Structure 1
Amino acid sequence: MKPSYEKLMPASGQSFRCFDRSRLRSPVKWHRHPEIELTYIPCGSGSRIVGDHIDSYTDHDLVLCGSQLPHTWASDEYRGKQYDRHRALVTQFHPDFLGTEFFGTDEMRDIACLLQRADRGLWFPTPMAIEIGRQIESLMHCTGAERLIGLLKILDGLSRCKDAVSLTSELYCVTQRAAASDATESRIQSICDHIASHLSDPDLSQRELAELADMNASAFSRFFKQSTGRTPSAYIGELRIGLSCRLLTDTDDSVLSICHQSGFANLSNFNRRFRQLRGMTPRDYRTRFRTTFDSSERQGRKRKQPA
């Protein structure tokens, strides 16, 4: 899937960008840019796509994307409310914004390693995300040298995290660099938008997407798999399972109702796909999540009680 190219410009006199994405009017699209990007979502849910990695996100999502790595966050709209504008704190900086040799110095060795690993996208666990999130909040209000020092402190903290998880496959990074092209970006963007707006439609088909791309079915399938590392049906299926996970945790709707809301035509296929991707049944997923959530809530209430 060819991402659209995004031209980023820091504010006048600044060397990097730090802003709240919810304040911008432009929609979030599948895109890439030369800048390295750190995105923190304090509160919200939806689907996150980084390279060939597709997953759900919830509160305290923190991801570092390397230069030219395609990505997008698609927030939830499934309950008839507009979630496009939940907060997303974004920091973007060019790899050479401090000079071509800066991150090559001995003092910056660990950060340079971090930025290299970010070529595959890095997800950070919640405790680290919360701490870095606080620093990003503070960074948004900093000026002068304090602003630059704040960014380096954030990168230093991330470089010390041993539990960061790489998101994209190694193969994707190699093929994406080789296959980058602007020729079909508008066509692919239309396909992405169409899938997102018809995710709950069980009749959404590869033939329909191929016609939208003005390609025959076999050519479209090869093109899609070469670009994303998965077939169109697998891509749609992963997004639908991600949607069903959020419905299971956020609503009391029946499993059958969630099956249909997520775009699956029948319950048996839904259960099979869910078990393949999540390693358990939808009912077990709901039970496990709510047991964990209730336990966390009780612990939270105990911590708030006065001594």
Structure 2
Amino acid sequence: MYQKIIANTPKFLMFDLQPLSENKHFIFGADYILIRPKQNGCILHLSSTQIPLVVGQLVLLAPFYPFKVSIDNNKVSVGDVLHFRLNALGQTFIDSIQFSNIKNMLDHAKQGLLFESEWLEPLFEIMDNIENTFDFKQLLNILMLLDQLTKTSPSQILETHQLAFSTTKRTENRVDNVLQYIATNLAEPLTVTIVAQQLHMAESTFSRFFHTHLGVTFRQYLIEQRVKQAARYLVSTDWSIAHIGAEVGFSSLSNFNEKFKTLLQVTPRAYRANHVALRENIGNSPSIQGQLQKQFHQWQA
């Protein structure tokens, strides 16, 4: 009998550090995963393999790689799980010579890599300093962590008999393509029909595909992206509220006001007024993108 597999795409831009805890079903996510056990007693389940994890190890898994974790003795958490994705870095940077060693390592993570060496201690120190904040130093920590990991050879390839996900790479590309299409066409009257045509899918197939891999409906995702972009414009431009609403694809000012307030619990006008200080110091302020993402997390909690 096949194990149930659940799509999982956490809402973050670059990375998210979470406690290593037990999950009942296989997780099939769109992120790279770095698992660090801090206590013995947890087992990593892959498609046909079970790997007991112990202190001093690191496991690197590629996107769309089904896994789950079981923990002995009902422990709540026995370590850390670092989810990270590359899209926020930009394709030019990912394809650069400077990033080539990291990219090569990540390409080899499709079968799962286990690292176990005394040379991992500096990496653990970096992980201990990673926080879920939007400070630029956190991005540097992630890059430093990956760079250091390329200097350590994996002690084991975890899964030589993976589940037959022959379409994994194509699926990953399709997700990237549809998100990029939405991002560059927010001002257009996007519909399921229009976007499904970009992937040459039937509407019903596309709707299932989108919800499976993004964890939300197409309409919900589209509204969230439009509101986020509108919030950036409210802080960074002098455009009128009506112009911003139209610029991000809302059909009317009333619809824009309604959707914005539903998601951010404040009207566009009040949001702009509340962020005057951020706008006045925009050259020295933390990323608007990061601040906005933090607010979404707070209001969705």
Cα gap change, 1:89 to 1:105, in 2 (>3 Å): same
In 2: Cα distance, 1:28 partner to 1:132 partner: 29
Instruction: Specify the code of the residue in structure 2 equivalent to 1:37.
Output: I
Alpha-carbon spacing, 1:160–1:179, altered in 2? closer, same or farther (3 Å): closer
Q: Deviations over 1:38-75 (max 9, x none)?
A: 11111131321133332212223310110101111211
Residue equivalent to 1:9: 11
> Is the 1:36–1:92 Cα contact (8 Å) retained in structure 2?
yes
Q: How does 1:272-287 map to 2 (within 5 A)?
A: none
- 1:229 is aligned to none
Contact 2:62 2:112 in 1 (8 A): yes
Q: Distance in 1 between matches of 2:168 and 2:134?
A: 40
Change (3 A) 1:167 1:106: same
* Number of aligned residues: 167
Sort the Cα spacing of 1:15 and 1:110 in 2 relative to 1 into closer, same or farther, 3 A.
same
Shift in Å, 1:158: 0.8
* Residue of structure 1 aligned with 2:78, choices 62, 74, 87: 87
Q: Identify the structure with bigger relative contact order (alpha carbons < 8 Å, sequence gap 6+).
A: 1
**What amino acid sits opposite 1:67 in the alignment?**
P
Deviation by residue 1:130-184 (Cα, 9 ceiling, x = unmatched)? 3322211111276511100000000001111124421111x526x223489xxxx
Q: How does 1:190-269 map to 2 (within 5 A)?
A: none
User: What code does the residue aligned with 1:9 have?
Assistant: K
CA distance in 2, matches of 1:128, 1:53: 26
Residue identity matched to 2:51: D
Distance 2:110 2:88 in 1: 17
Which structure 1 residue ranges, 4+ long, deviate > 6 Å from structure 2? none
**What does residue 56 of structure 2 align with?**
60
Separation in 2, partners of 1:120, 1:57? 17
2:115–2:153 CA contact under 8 A, matched in 1? no
| Alpha-carbon contact 2:28-2:64 (below 8 Å) kept | yes
Sort the Cα spacing of 1:155 and 1:179 in 2 relative to 1 into closer, same or farther, 3 A. Answer: closer
Distance 2:148 2:137 in 1: 16
The residue that corresponds to 1:154 in the other structure is 145
Which one of the candidate residues 69, 72, 83 is aligned to 1:73?
Answer: 69
Identify the residue that residue 162 of structure 2 maps to in structure 1. 172
Unaligned runs of 5+ in 2: 170-301
Which amino acid counterpart does residue 64 of structure 2 have in structure 1? Answer: Q
Letter of the structure 2 residue corresponding to residue 51 of structure 1: S
CA distance in 2, matches of 1:50, 1:103: 28
Give the 3 Å change call, closer, same or farther, for CA 15–57 of structure 1 in structure 2: closer
Root mean square deviation, CA, Å: 2.5
Q: Deviation per CA, 1:96-140, whole angstroms, max 9, x where unpaired?
A: 231233221100110000110111111001424433222111112
What per-residue deviation string (whole Å, max 9, x for no partner) do you get for residues 168-226 of structure 1? Answer: 11x526x223489xxxxxxxxxxxxxxxxxxxxxxxxxxxxxxxxxxxxxxxxxxxxxx
Letter in 1 for 2:40: G
How far the C-alpha of 1:9 sits from its partner, in A, is: 0.9
Q: Is 1:44–1:75's contact at 8 Å kept on the other side of the alignment?
A: no
Output the TM-score relative to the length of structure 2. Answer: 0.50
**Closer/same/farther in 2, CA of residues 179 and 97 from structure 1, 3 Å limit:** closer
Contact 1:44–1:59 under 8 Å retained in 2:
yes
